[in-house]
Amino acid sequence: MLAACGRGDDQSNSSPAPAADTADAAAVEAPGPSSPTGEQPPQAVELAASLTEAFAASTTLADSAAFDGASLAAGDSVVWFWAPWCTICRSEAPEVAEVAERYASQVNLIGVPGRGELDEMVDFVDDTGTGSLTHVPDLNGDIWSAFGVYGQPAFAFIDDDGSFEVFIGGLGGDALAERIDQLIAA
């Protein structure tokens, strides 16, 4: 497969990633809105369990603290998949950081670097000014696989109802903000 980073800087690319179980699904759809009683719908509970498993032994890049993947299912979240050598990832990084800061009170946005060495990931974060984000390195590819991510950059938009959609390709700051607005409104 051709990695997204190798296709050029076409920000209009809207190729969805395959869902973890099937190559034809663009998103996992939830059966309905969140429960009015404050309980998470069953799909959100299932997603939290899946995320806990996917992030099981994961630690943050900055301080090696344990990361609880289930925290992503507790509210609207965005996962940014990047690689340290990816030129598109590097060019969009400052805008991702700015959007993350702008939406910090509404959306949890984390980075999940993969396909590189740990020291290269640290250098990427230092070079791009994305240190304010939580980054959870995926050195063995388990997290990327759990979301069906096969190229970088990519974004997973996780709704608080337990559904998520994966977008493979670069998003500029405006397009990312627009997608987050849609996520919040859903």
Q: Is the pLDDT of residue 48 over 60?
A: yes
pLDDT at 39: 60
Fold of 39-185: Glutaredoxin (3.40.30)
pTM listed for this prediction: 0.78
Residue-by-residue DSSP string for 14-25: --BPPPSS-SS-
**70 compared with 113, residue with greater pLDDT:** 113
Question: In the sheet that 108-113 helps form, which strands lie side by side, from edge to edge?
Answer: 27-28, 164-168, 154-158, 77-82, 108-113, 134-135
What's the whole-number average pLDDT of the chain? 80
Q: Is the pLDDT of residue 40 over 90?
A: no
Q: What is the pLDDT of residues 61-110, one digit of tens each?
A: 888 899 988 888 889 999 999 999 999 999 999 999 999 999 999 999 99
pLDDT at 16: 35
